[in-house]
Amino acid sequence: MAKSPSFRTVRWVRTLNLLAQVVLFVGLFAGLNYLAVQYSWRFDLTSNHRHSLSPETRAYLKNLAQPVRIIVTLSADSDNEQVTHAHRDVSALLREYGFATAANARGKVTTEFLDVFQRRREAEVLGIDQPNTILVLCGDRRRVVGLDELYRVENQEKKAFRGEQAFTAAILDVSSPTKKKIYFLTGHGEMAIDDVSPERGLSALDAELKARNFAVESLDLSLARKIPEDAAVLVIVGQQGRFDAAEQELLRQYLTTRAGRILALLAPGYPTGLDDLFFDWGVLVDDVLVFDQGPTGQSETGDLILPALAEHEITHSLLSYKIPLRFGLSRSVRPDPGRTLDANLDVKSLVATSEQAWGERNYRERGTPTYNLGVDLPGRIIVVTASERHAARNNLPFTVPGGRLVTFGSADWIANGRLGVIGNLSFFMAAVNWTTDRDIDLNVPARPIDKFQLSLSQQQLQRLRYSLIFVLPGLAAVLGLVVYMTRRN
């Protein structure tokens, strides 16, 4: 007769069996987590790949050599529905940047959500004084990404999310070791970047440019007699004296031989001394003062209300959101009808008045201005014109960008007192970005915003309501009864 094992032996065997199961389970769990961390795979099964970064962005992030912080002050609980939607889209996108740089020890992208009201001290340290701001930081270099950069809008309706293009461009910008330098010309009575007056001061603009990682300096051509090699763009704002021939030649050579970039904001009533330069670039600057008696042409304070006229990189935001500009005293700057035909020169009108406006030539005379047929400029008056010259390259079937000139018929619209007007700052920054090639179009497709709408009749809604209330609970009850009867039998 076989001897049966003792209860103590059986108990030890069971205990060892349980310990082995625990060890195997812990080992399996730890192994799976190790594999998930070291060899993780993520698959985006959405139709538009809304949860995936483009190959170009991933290539840039792979070579990122410095850590980048992104501070988001958008709120998920905002009363503004636009801000709530932007918070959702931005948080999902920035999570992908974090995943893409998780294995990059030197160049990680981290995201922090900050409530500027509850954490006011931290916001002040970061230089954030307004909510709904997205700040990209790398060392002491910073750039602000605005909500208007995140979406492509048509007829005041969001059509696509452009967040990846905006954030990738911002990350590349702040991670670059050098800042693009903007020189404001002086010596001819121009408006100054260190002036705090509301009428002719540009101190607010200076702060905005520095907040966007630009270096800003003043330049007096009458003293320097040369244009620095690091000049990304020259800005002329409200000059009251004439440029001499030598200065004009310096600017012409800068535009032509160095593919330079100039923003010329011209106050009416003052000769510029740059007539030959403007002629070379297909721009005619008229000595007129613009008046607009149309129903929507002027504000209650007499400012001109100016809509964007044509699609361009500079006017895209204005056209998308239907935002007008507000200029003070303005003159006409238009494509020169007598310019020499040049296939490499592209001249485009960007902003204009209404059809009821005119350009008054006798504006220096006292009295009520009236339109004089055959003397004044009639109809829609162009007040902003952009010129770009492309240079052919060794007879190849493509061109390379040449110089760029944007001419504005007014200067006080970027002064401290008017810069806060909705549209003015974003329009000037769009001109700066275009002239400095700051936001070259990346090969990053915008993500379409899909909208699904379920149209049901009243009868269909009633059926759906009854199905949710009675049918689904009834099916669950029947299934439970079947299981109960099966187990009982």
* pLDDT at residue 398 in the model: 47
* pLDDT at residue 46 in the model: 60
What residues contact 277, with CB distance under 8 A and at least 6 apart? 248, 251, 252, 255
Choosing among 3.40.30.10, 3.10.450.40, 3.50.30.60, 1.10.1240.10, the CATH entry for 55-174 is 3.40.30.10
* pLDDT at residue 353 in the model: 95
Distances (CA, A) of 41 to 44, 45, 452: 10, 13, 30
* pLDDT at residue 395 in the model: 55
* pLDDT at residue 415 in the model: 96
* pLDDT at residue 446 in the model: 65
The length of the chain in residues reads 489
Could you tell me the two tokens for 262?
């100039």
- Please report which helix (H) or strand (E) contains residue 325, including its range: strand 325-327
Burial bucket for residue 323 (CB in 10 Å: 0-12, 13-18, 19+): middle
* pLDDT at residue 307 in the model: 92
- The parts of the chain modelled with pLDDT lower than 70 are 1-5, 37-51, 156, 391-401, 439-457
Q: Under a CB-based contact definition with an 8 Å cutoff, are residues 409 and 331 in contact?
A: yes
* pLDDT at residue 55 in the model: 73
Domains in the chain: boundaries: 55-174, 180-435
Question: What DSSP state is assigned to residue 241?
Answer: S
* pLDDT at residue 328 in the model: 93
First to last CA, the chain: 40
**Which string of b and e fits 457-488 if b means at least 16 CB within 10 Å?**
eeeeeeeeeeeeeeeeeeeeeeeeeeeeeeee
| CATH top class, domain 180-435 | alpha beta
69: helix, coil or strand? strand
What residues contact 364, with CB distance under 8 A and at least 6 apart? 269
